[in-house]
Structure 1
Amino acid sequence: MTYRDLRKLVAQGESEFLEFKRKVAHPEKIVRELVAFANTNGGQLLIGVSDNGDIPGVKFPEDEIYALNKSIEELCKPAFEYNIEEIELSEKATAIVYHIPQSKRRPHAVKEDIQSKWGQVYVRHEDKSVKASREMREIIKRKRKNKDIRFNYGEKEQKLMAYLEEQKSITLEEFKELAGLNNYMASRTLVLLVLANVLAIRPTEKGDIYTLKNIS
């Protein structure tokens, strides 16, 4: 990637596929962005780029890369693929690009610290990395297997379709109340409908939102 290519990329702004970091000040937090890319549709992390789109670069790229790679190795599980590219801006400034493809081993998690046994799964939505719900984690796992999904179109599904025709979106809690279901059955139904491409799921910081497929 040339400097010109980098400027074009930065001009797009942060998005589902792009994240800017001025430097690796808190690598244990930055790994969340990498994991979110790997768990969703892939993306690029640009180091040495400010939130406003300025590209000052970093003075010691090897130190930035070492710190972030160390956190990836210690805190992320399972391991995921990534490539690193350095773009020289001047004799004293370099930009770093982490290229993260969608992972075939997803979902990946980030541990709070080295001693932690379990971690938190993150996914990418628009320009943010958010914690994945239990439903989102299940969908990621089962989509990876790419098997045909079958479900019964019964009374609860009819109620859901009628509701979405009017209200356009629904949450797990709203569906539970609408259909009179317990948490397990409501969750299972929504997950199956997403896997069957009947519904779309949109993860947010306040919880997942479900819509009919191709309806935003």
Structure 2
Amino acid sequence: METLKSIIQQGEHQQLDFKFRIDDAKKIARTLSAFANTDGGRLLIGVKDNGKITGIDPSEEIHMIDAAVDMYCKPKLSFQSRVWQEDMRLVLEITVQPTGEKPVSSPDEEGKWRVYVRRKDHTLLANKILLNVWKQEKKPNAKPEKFGDEETHLLGLIAENEPVTLSKLYRSSKLPKNRIDHLMVLFICWKLINMEISEQGTFYTTVID
């Protein structure tokens, strides 16, 4: 049987985040939208980053969550809530399911609407390749039986330099940047390459059969 302590013992990860309390609806909207854009996730409010339970007033925190999803998530997100009690302290759990309406966007610190994803225990900006992958996934994506010179050239560059950044591919290839971007999107949809987004940047590697 799942308990609050068993959840906390997992530590923060791609689908779990701890918050001492919610002070900024815009900021928490970025975490919620990132959950929705990735694999879904749970937010525990009233828990420090180190896992210590501090407790909160659920009515105050749910007000901030309502504001976050109503005002700062496009399209508006739905969520489930649950209140846990542990050692006379209350913790609010917010669960967000992965969305079928990618992307969900939220405002950054300057108020510009951006798209975020979860990677490990971090909320990061989605890049243009991922945004276009989501668009391409809504279209037919049959992999050709034979590749042309451009596809063969770019796949070779990735294999020779992996893990490789997009900027390095721009410098190493004579193909136009927009053509490289388009091929990278197709390669991901065809499951020929992997894209790893991290705090250090975005890196691409070939898929090993």
Same fold (TM > 0.5): yes
Partner of 1:177: 171
Q: 1:148 to 1:99 in 2, by over 3 A?
A: same
Secondary structure in 1 matching 2:28:
helix
**Displacement after TM superposition at 1:103 (Å):** 0.3
Partner of 2:94: 98
| Structure 1 SS opposite 2:141 | coil
Aligned to 2:127: 133
The match for 2:113 is 119
| 1:8-157 equivalences in 2 (<5 Å) | 8-58=6-56, 60-91=57-88, 93-112=89-108, 119-143=113-137, 145=138, 147-150=140-143, 153-157=147-151
TM-score (norm 1): 0.86
1:75 and 1:112 in contact (8 A); partners too: no
Per the alignment, residue 197 of structure 1 pairs with 191
User: In the aligned structure 2, how far is the partner of 1:88 from the partner of 1:138?
Assistant: 43
Q: Measured at CA, do residues 9 and 193 of structure 1 come closer, stay the same or move farther in structure 2, by a change above 3 Å?
A: same
- C-alpha RMSD over aligned residues: 2.2
Q: Percent identity?
A: 27
Gaps of 5+ in 1: none
Counterparts of 1:112 and 1:167 in 2: how far apart (Å)? 33
> Which amino acid counterpart does residue 91 of structure 2 have in structure 1?
A
Secondary structure of the corresponding residue to residue 91 of structure 2: strand
Kindly tell me: are residues 53 and 207 of structure 1, through their superposed partners in 2, closer, same or farther at Cα, counting changes over 3 Å? same
May I ask how many residue pairs the two structures share in their alignment? Answer: 207
| CA distance in structure 1 between the partners assigned to 2:155 and 2:140 by the alignment | 24
8 Å Cα contact 2:18/2:47 also seen in 1: yes
Gaps of 5+ in 2: none
Query: Secondary structure at 1:76's aligned position in 2?
Result: coil
Shift, 1:146, TM fit: 6.7
Contact between 2:159 and 2:205, CA under 8 Å: does it hold in 1?
Answer: no
